[in-house]
């Protein structure tokens, strides 16, 4: 099946720094999603990307759908302590609502005040 | 506005015991799914349903059963729990149609001893 390689696995940064993480796949995806998971909670959708080359922002977060359809990245600018959590990328091949999501392994982000 | 509700939040089982993890959503979403989350492995799809009376297997279905008798509920049954099923389980739901993404519950942390 499809696999997503997410990197880095973990990041330790100072408050105010910018963060970048990415996902790559050997398969083509038609949708890329980025989720954040706080401790003890379920994943929450941050950004959804539906078109190759698409660049979308949500506040301090910016994500891009790679031109090859095999990668995506997420940037967080001017990090703050509440950015701490696990960030997951997810990809979907099909266009129908029944098609499955494949998740990356996650990036654990720690922000030091 | 409950969204996706999972019960219980925590559970300890002995090997061989059976139990049902409950999932309910009040958004009238057609699509529901179950994932398990293990350290360093992201979320993996166990079973999913595109509507009442319809279920299908995901990536890791062995040892789990599901049914979908109503739109609102999608219980996950462990027939004979094994230590390998120790994990955090997430239920998710989404509306049919393109460009609509999943809402996740808060998770059930299951330990099998």
B3 dihedral zone (left: phi>0; alpha: psi -120 to 50; beta): left
Q: What tens-digit pLDDT sequence spans chain A (113 residues)?
A: 567 899 999 999 999 999 999 999 999 999 999 999 998 899 999 999 999 999 999 999 999 999 999 999 999 999 999 999 999 999 988 765 456 889 999 999 999 98
Q: Answer whether the bond into residue A8 is a cis peptide, omega within 30°.
A: yes
> Between chain A and chain B, how many beta carbons pairs sit less than 8 Å apart?
60
Q: What gap in Å lies between CA A44 and CA A5, rounded to an integer?
A: 20
Give the closest residue to A48 by CA, choosing from A28, A72, A78: A72
Q: Answer whether the bond into residue B8 is a cis peptide, omega within 30°.
A: yes
Q: State pLDDT tens for residues B15-68.
A: 999 999 999 999 999 999 999 999 878 899 999 999 999 999 999 999 999 999
Residue with tokens 């967080």: A76
* B23 part of contact set with chain A, CB < 8 Å: no
Q: Is B83 helix (H, G, I), strand (E, B) or coil?
A: helix
* A48 part of contact set with chain B, CB < 8 Å: yes
Q: Among B31, B97, B99, whose Cβ lies nearest the Cβ of A50?
A: B99
Q: Among B43, B95, B100, whose Cβ lies nearest the Cβ of A103?
A: B43
- Tokens (6 digits) for B32: 């529901």
Q: Is A112 helix (H, G, I), strand (E, B) or coil?
A: strand
Q: What gap in Å lies between CA B102 and CA B97, rounded to an integer?
A: 11
Q: What gap in Å lies between CA A80 and CA B112, rounded to an integer?
A: 37
């Amino acid at each position: 099946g499809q696999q997503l390689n997410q990197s880095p696995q973990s990041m330790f940064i100072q408050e105010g720094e910018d963060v970048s993480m990415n996902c790559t796949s050997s398969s083509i995806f038609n949708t890329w999603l980025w989720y954040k998971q706080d401790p003890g909670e379920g994943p929450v959708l941050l950004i959804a990307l539906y078109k190759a080359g698409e660049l979308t922002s949500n506040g301090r977060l910016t994500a891009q759908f790679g031109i090859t359809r095999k990668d995506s990245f997420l940037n967080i600018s001017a990090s703050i302590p509440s950015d701490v959590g696990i960030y997951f990328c997810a990809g979907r091949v099909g266009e129908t609502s029944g098609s499955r999501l494949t998740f990356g392994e996650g990036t654990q982000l720690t922000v030091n005040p | 506005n409950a969204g996706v509700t999972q019960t219980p939040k925590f559970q300890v089982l002995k090997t061989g015991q059976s139990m049902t993890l409950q999932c309910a959503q009040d958004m009238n979403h057609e699509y529901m799914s179950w994932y398990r989350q293990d350290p360093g492995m992201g979320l993996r799809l166990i079973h999913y349903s595109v509507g009442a009376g319809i279920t299908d297997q995901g990536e890791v279905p062995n040892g789990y059963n599901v049914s979908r008798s109503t739109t609102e509920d999608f219980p996950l049954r462990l027939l004979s729990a094994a230590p390998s099923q120790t994990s955090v389980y997430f239920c998710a739901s989404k509306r049919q149609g393109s460009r609509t993404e999943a809402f996740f519950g808060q998770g059930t942390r299951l330990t099998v001893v």
